[in-house]
Chains A and B, each alone.
Chain A
Amino acid sequence: MFLQTIVDGIMLGGLYAIIGMGLAVVFGTMRIINFAHGQFVMVGMYISYACFQFLHIDPYLSIGISFVISFLLGILVFRLTLKPILHAPEMNHILLTAGLGLMLTNLSQMVFNTNQLTVNLPYGHHTIHFLHVEVNQAYLLSFIIAGFVALFLFLFMLKTETGRSIRAISQNSSSSALMGIPVNRITTLVFGLGIAIAGVAGTLLLPVHYVDPSVGDSFSLLAFIIVVLGGMGSIFGAGIGGILIGLIWSLSSFYLGGSYGDVLTYIMFLLVLLLKPSGLFGRSRV
């Protein structure tokens, strides 16, 4: 049973990791704390739900759709709201994004109501047996795709010119501007990318998790826990942080009982904030 719990935790953690990575991309580059990140994950879930319900597109095939829509939504939101106050105190960012989150939550409640919606996939209940471990097929598929998303993100950041610019900006944005990097355009793109990853995370979660308007609130806090654990701004750290949280969640839920997953996650979050606020893989705070 121990092995089963570990595997469940890693599967869950892989999806959490993608949620955290989107937040880490945005935070690492422009130091914006996006309190609406979980709400964008929820938007991704609803996009895929709508595709499934009305257009009969399998959630795994709607990844592209949710990526593009979330990306455009992210750019729109950034241009309209965040860019004018980019250099304001970070408290204003927190309040603004919290307000955005409230808008998104209630907009989706106006459209979809408060019902918990799930998609019923033909292969959603199949399990694969391997060494006494059972794995849900949908979970496994989501996990594998999450791995590919992470891989693409790393390759994008490390190998492309845009990725290099993003890393340069995250190190020093005014020097990057002096070196001829179009900082404005790149930061807009990065915000779009962060939201697009959140949207994809939502799509990957949909086959294994219900969606309702309030689901975003819990994902927002979860994303922060993951990113703080991994080190604010470190994409790799967010990946590891997500898996760790998944493991903690599944182990404590199994051995201590249902609600202890949340309790231990919050306690561990507070401990990390207190003892090692730079996280496991983060650069020290300036």
Chain B
Amino acid sequence: MKKWFVACLILILCVLLPFVTNLYYKQILFYIFIFGGVGLAWNLVGGYAGQISLGHAVFFGIGAYSFALLAPHTGVILGIVLAGLVSAISAVPIGWICFRLRGPYFSLATIAVAQLMNVLATNQLKHWTQGAAGLLVPNVVKNPDNYYWVALGFAALAFGIVTRMATSKTGYYLMAIREDEDTAQTITVNTPLYKLYALIVSAFLTGIGGVVFAANLGSIQPNDVFGGAISNQVVFLAILGGAGTIYGPLVGAFILEFASDYLKNSVGSLSFIGDPNAFAFFVYGLLIVLVVMFMPAGIVGTLENRWKRRVNYGIARVSRSQ
């Protein structure tokens, strides 16, 4: 029960926040929830199972486009569920192809799949997606202010499902796969099945994240949802916060969104820096390099390790004094 206690506190805080902050922070928090939620979904595959997918935008985009195409016929609620399901179903063939590869080859294959979908959605599937002209996405809620609640709901859903899975037997199987896939298989973990299971759940949540993102934008082009920027952002924030930790992606999203927003606004007046947007992304890249070099376990992971060490040290000291 203890693990849900902190989560409930954060949830209550997030419910109360919009009553004391202004629209500006609500918008930032919206993106934190969306990308934090998708980061949590990525964490299941990339963090716990150790399969670094660099093309998660493919599920994000499939969800977004399915919703945009289905919702006018089915209504909003059913549209969201269907979009998540389509995205989850698409994970089966994608996982079947990519999981036959390991390590960096898997990562490369996921990039190729996402790029392939990006090109297909721009050109070959133009009939449905309208290509680069952009496709209108129906609103999820009438009042744009309420997107905050939709995103918060999505983040809570993602957190619930992912935490549930990660702290159950499945989570331990996934971690076993991450540490050593062959050994995991030897001790009768059905590794292909569990990897696919993690990917399907992850794709379902990522797809719904794509729906909320796209609905808030109002109209989408293939590059908005299938582009490498989305894939990279999701991976980076999970790594920054701590891959394979429960709160990592949320912490990562919080830091990255606020940092990039602060950078964009504060350096906008400095003309020698050029494009402030580019500067924000430059610092973003620098942050990744520094995190990988100096704390590869991420912020939450490093703190957790330090905490554990202190606790162990304390126990050792107590037992020695006895």
Residues of chain A having any CB pair with chain B under 8 Å: 33, 81, 84-85, 88, 90-92, 94-96, 98-107, 109-111, 113-114, 213, 217, 221, 224-225, 228, 258-260, 262-263, 266-267, 269-270, 273-274, 277
Contacts and interface: CB of A to CB of B under 8 A. Distances in A.
A106 B285 contact: yes
B52 A81 contact: no
B97 A269 contact: no
B232 interface: yes
B17 interface: no
A266 B101 contact: no
B52 A91 contact: yes
Most buried by B among A92, A102, A221, A277: A102
B101 A273 contact: yes
A24 to B, nearest CB: 14
A264 B120 CA distance: 11
Give 3 closest A-B pairs by Cβ, nearest first: A99-B288, A102-B285, A103-B285
B293 interface: yes
Interface in B276-291: 278-279, 281-282, 284-289
Contact of A110 (B104, B232, B274): B274
Contact of B273 (A110, A259, A274): A110
A217 B118 CA distance: 14
B127 interface: no
B104 A102 contact: no
Given A99-B288, A259-B122, A270-B97, A221 B274 contact: no
Interface residues of B, number: 43
B293 A85 contact: yes
Given A106-B282, A110-B282, A263 B119 contact: yes
Given A221-B115, A259-B122, A269-B112, A101 B285 contact: yes
Contact of A224 (B108, B116, B236, B279): B108
A102 B279 contact: no
Contacts of B105: 228, 273, 277
A259 B123 contact: yes
A107 B282 contact: yes
Contacts of A92: 292, 296
A94 B104 contact: yes
A90 B108 contact: no
B132 to A, nearest CB: 11
B225 interface: no
Given A90-B103, A273-B112, 20 more contacts: A85-B296, A91-B52, A92-B296, A94-B107, A95-B292, A96-B293, A98-B54, A99-B236, A99-B285, A103-B282, A114-B275, A213-B278, A221-B111, A259-B119, A263-B123, A263-B124, A266-B112, A266-B119, A270-B112, A273-B109
A215 B239 CA distance: 26
Most buried by A among B122, B235, B274, B285: B285
A227 to B, nearest CB: 10
A214 B159 CA distance: 34
A262 B117 CA distance: 11
Contacts of A113: 274-275
Nearest to B131: A259
Given A221-B111, A273-B108, A100 B285 contact: yes
Contacts of B50: 91
B52 A94 contact: yes
6 contacts: A99-B236, A99-B285, A99-B288, A259-B124, A263-B123, A273-B105
A207 B217 CA distance: 39
Contacts of B97: 270, 274
Contacts of B54: 94, 98
B293 A81 contact: yes
A73 to B, nearest CB: 15
Nearest to A213: B278
A21 B38 CA distance: 36
B288 A98 contact: yes
Interface string B259-303: 000000000000001110011011011111100110010000000
Contacts of B112: 221, 225, 266, 269-270, 273
Contacts of B286: 99, 103
B116 A263 contact: yes
B249 to A, nearest CB: 15
B100 interface: yes
A213 to B, nearest CB: 8
B52 A102 contact: no
Given A113-B275, A270-B109, A274-B100, A263 B120 contact: yes
